Amino acid sequence: MSLLLIELTLLVENHLRAFSTPHSAPQPRSPHSKLHPKVQFNTQTFPLDIVHSHRIVAHKLQIQPPIMSLEVYPASPADAPELTQLFYATFRSGLDTTMFPNTPDVTEWWENAFSADITRSIARETNDLFLKVAEGSESGPVVAFAKWKRPVSAADRDRHEEQIVWPASSDKELCDRFFVDMEARHEKWMGERPHYYLDMLGVHPSYQGKGLGSKLLKWGLTRADAEGVEVYLSASPAGRPLYAKYGFKEVDTFSPYPNYVQVGMIRSPNAQ
Ligand SMILES: CC(C)(COP(=O)(O)OP(=O)(O)OC[C@H]1O[C@@H](n2cnc3c(N)ncnc32)[C@H](O)[C@@H]1OP(=O)(O)O)[C@@H](O)C(=O)NCCC(=O)NCCS
């Protein structure tokens, strides 16, 4: 075999090794354990000079790791456990972890809440819409999610909201204070005006800064613009710059937790 052929064989072998799973074990679907596979050159298996020429061949042939798609899909009730883990990975401020520490009872609470809310939204019993970004295909790992509320009719508005029972490990007083305050401000600013409401948006830390937050945000903005209605949201400190970029204006602020400022924001139709 020529040197080039040997190098190519090594390259392909190493490439396959980098992407294969030992003993054909099923791939975990959690975004914590995987993703962004990179071709790693194992210098214990290959002497450095071979590794070096290996890299040159890879460079010359411009071999790249496969690029996985990151598309928006409707979430399903079966996604509830993954959405819960994504929630923990994404919402990590002191406010978030005090309201929802990563404990078995909070995990069960979120899994039940996601599953029930998604089921009701699919049955059109609510105006909620749950979206996910999955990697590779619809059944791939969930790396981002959003919960939108479509414009609410007068009948829906009058529907009695059920009392939320927080999980045992949550700081219930903080949960009540935060969510009641947030909803009161929502009501104060939007009243009866029809509008889209972005209730939740989270992107796994490993996937932030790649446009996924924008993608999930634009899903609602496009519809609001087409229908000529406003969009309201209550922004975390992390979300604020993203929303400002897409034309949201700050209308009020409150501090539910030390060193944490939540901001009410409204976007007029077609605002840039
Ligand atoms: C906020 C969040 C959803 C943004 O998602 P993302 O996928 O990283 O956002 P994008 O990649 O689409 O960023 C779009 C733009 O927003 C801006 N932006 C996003 N996060 C920013 C930050 N932390 N600081 C400054 N600008 C930021 C950037 O200007 C970026 O524009 P650019 O591409 O021109 O630089 C993500 O950081 C997140 O999940 N944070 C934790 C959970 C949270 O607080 N969610 C918001 C609840 S209201």
CATH number at residue 224: 3.40.630.30
24 lies in a domain?
A: no
Q: How far is the CA of 268 from the centre of ligand 1 (A)?
A: 20
Beta carbon of 212 within 6 Å of any ligand 1 atom: yes
Higher pLDDT, 208 or 41: 208
3-class secondary-structure state, position 134 = strand
37 lies in a domain?
A: no
β-pairing, 260-267 vs 230-235, is antiparallel
- Closest ligand 1 atom, residue 216 Cα: 12
Beta carbon of 91 within 6 Å of any ligand 1 atom: yes
pLDDT at residue 87, rounded to an integer = 98
Q: How confident is the model at residue 2 (pLDDT cuts 50, 70, 90)?
A: very low
45 lies in a domain?
A: no
Domain that holds residue 135: 70-154+162-267
180 lies in a domain?
A: yes
Report pLDDT digits (tens) over 183-231.
Answer: 999 999 999 999 999 999 999 999 999 999 999 999 999 999 999 999 9
Beta carbon of 264 within 6 Å of any ligand 1 atom: no
Q: How far is the CA of 80 from the centre of ligand 1 (A)?
A: 23
Q: How confident is the model at residue 126 (pLDDT cuts 50, 70, 90)?
A: very high
Q: How confident is the model at residue 67 (pLDDT cuts 50, 70, 90)?
A: confident
- Closest ligand 1 atom, residue 243 Cα: 16
pTM above 0.85, yes or no: no
pLDDT at residue 6, rounded to an integer = 44
Q: Domain count for the chain, please give it.
A: 1
Distance (Å, rounded) from C-alpha 231 to C-alpha 195?
5
C-alpha pair distances (Å), 217 with each of 53, 69, 100, 163 = 45, 18, 24, 29
Beta carbon of 211 within 6 Å of any ligand 1 atom: yes
Q: Evaluate if residue 24 carries a pLDDT over 70.
A: no
141 lies in a domain?
A: yes
Q: How far is the CA of 235 from the centre of ligand 1 (A)?
A: 11
- Closest ligand 1 atom, residue 210 Cα: 11
47 lies in a domain?
A: no
pLDDT at residue 158, rounded to an integer = 57
